[in-house]
């Protein structure tokens, strides 16, 4: 797959649907060039073509991790682009395995010379084939449903790094309990990444902020005053005590 094909596929999968004109502007080529490049991609089934636009072929029939990436896509794209704007070329990052983190990894493809350590095979593969990047996969055994590693080797690799940012996600955000996760290994990995990072960026869309219904039973580590929550909408006054303990940025 050519560099332009990779960029087109990443952009379309990130946004769901992209017009030919938008892609041409992003790649600084003509509309006709985009139409020519995507012909074999459509034939292979990498993308679908509709009138004047290209559509992602990732569907809810995909494995669970990719299925989660189809939910609240617009919000996650906004968050991902905001974080990619914050991160400068040459930065070092620890990235967890959440679906929003997957969008962040795709948005980070426009950055250069990143050093990345992650326990996610999806994120490692997304960023590893970018010229100048150094990507380290933490762990040896990957979970079936999301391609993430939480074995001893994963934690040993993470502990050897010192990074500018930890980019994390959460399963739910509760106004009094804070940031929640379903599994202890996810809590432990978040703590390990926070410990090696100068700053944490917590990427959570507005749908995660709730105090109703069943909730995850495990708490993620508390954020520091210098850390940042990046959300697509203001969570509202109910979450003020939680969000005022650190920085809150709204991705437009």
Fold entry, domain 64-250: Rossmann fold (3.40.50)
Res 129: pLDDT: 87
Mean pLDDT (the chain, rounded): 90
pLDDT of residue 55: 86
pLDDT in tens, 44-95: 888 888 888 888 876 443 445 666 666 788 899 999 999 999 999 999 999 9
Q: Please, are residues 181 and 216 in contact by the beta-carbon 8 Å criterion?
A: yes
d(CA 233, CA 139): 34
> Tokens standing for 240?
């003020």
- Tell me the backbone φ, ψ of residue 135, rounded to 5 degrees: -120, 130
Instruction: Supply the pLDDT for residue 51.
Output: 83
Residues 6+ apart with CB under 8 A from 238: 175, 211
Cα–Cα dist 142/131, whole Å: 25
Q: Does 197 have pLDDT greater than 60?
A: yes
Q: Which of 3-7, 10-14, 128-132, 230-234 has the weakest average pLDDT?
A: 10-14
Q: Where are the domains of the chain?
A: 3-56, 64-250
Give 3-56's CATH code, choosing from 3.40.1280.10, 3.40.50.300, 2.50.20.10, 1.10.10.10: 1.10.10.10
Which H, E and C letters describe the chain, residue by residue?
CCHHHHHHHHHHHHHCEEEHHHHHHHHCCCHHHHHHHHHHHHHHCCEEEECCEEEECCCCCCCHHHHHHCCCHHHHHHHHHHHHHHCCCCCEEEECCCHHHHHHHHHHHHCCCCEEEECEHHHHHHHHCCCCCEEEECCCCECCCCCEECCHHHHHHHHCCCEEEEEECCCEEECCCEEEECCHHHHHHHHHHHHHEEEEEEECCHHHECCCCCCCCEECCCCCCCCEEEECCCCCHHHHHHHCCCEEEECC
Q: What is the pLDDT of residue 1?
A: 67
145: pLDDT confidence band, cut at 50, 70 and 90?
A: confident
Which residues in 179-202 are b (16+ Cβ under 10 Å) and which e? bbbeeebbbbbbebbbebbebbbb
Here the tokens at position 233 are 């909408």
């Amino acid at each position: 797959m050519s560099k332009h094909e990779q960029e087109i596929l990443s952009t379309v999968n990130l946004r769901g649907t992209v017009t030919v004109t938008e892609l041409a502007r992003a790649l600084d080529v003509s509309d006709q060039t985009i139409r020519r490049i995507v012909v074999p991609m459509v034939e292979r089934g990498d993308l679908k073509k509709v009138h004047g636009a290209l559509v992602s072929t990732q569907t809810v029939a995909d494995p669970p991790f990719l299925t989660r990436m189809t939910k609240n896509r617009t919000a996650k794209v906004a968050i991902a682009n905001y974080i990619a704007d914050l991160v400068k070329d040459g930065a070092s990052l620890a990235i967890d395995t959440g679906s929003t983190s997957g969008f962040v990894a795709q948005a980070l493809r426009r950055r250069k010379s990143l050093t990345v350590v992650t326990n996610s095979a999806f994120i490692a593969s997304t960023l590893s084939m970018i010229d100048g990047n150094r990507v380290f996969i933490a762990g040896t055994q990957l979970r079936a449903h999301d391609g993430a590693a939480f074995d001893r080797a994963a934690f040993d690799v993470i502990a050897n790094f010192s990074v500018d940012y930890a980019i994390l996600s959460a399963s739910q955000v509760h106004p009094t309990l804070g940031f929640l996760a379903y599994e202890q290994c996810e809590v432990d990995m978040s703590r390990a990444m926070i410990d090696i990072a100068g700053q944490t960026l917590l990427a959570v869309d507005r749908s995660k902020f709730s105090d109703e219904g069943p909730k995850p039973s495990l708490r993620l580590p508390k954020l520091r005053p210098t850390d940042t929550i990046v959300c697509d909408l203001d969570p509202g006054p109910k979450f003020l005590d939680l969000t005022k303990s650190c920085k809150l940025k709204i991705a437009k």
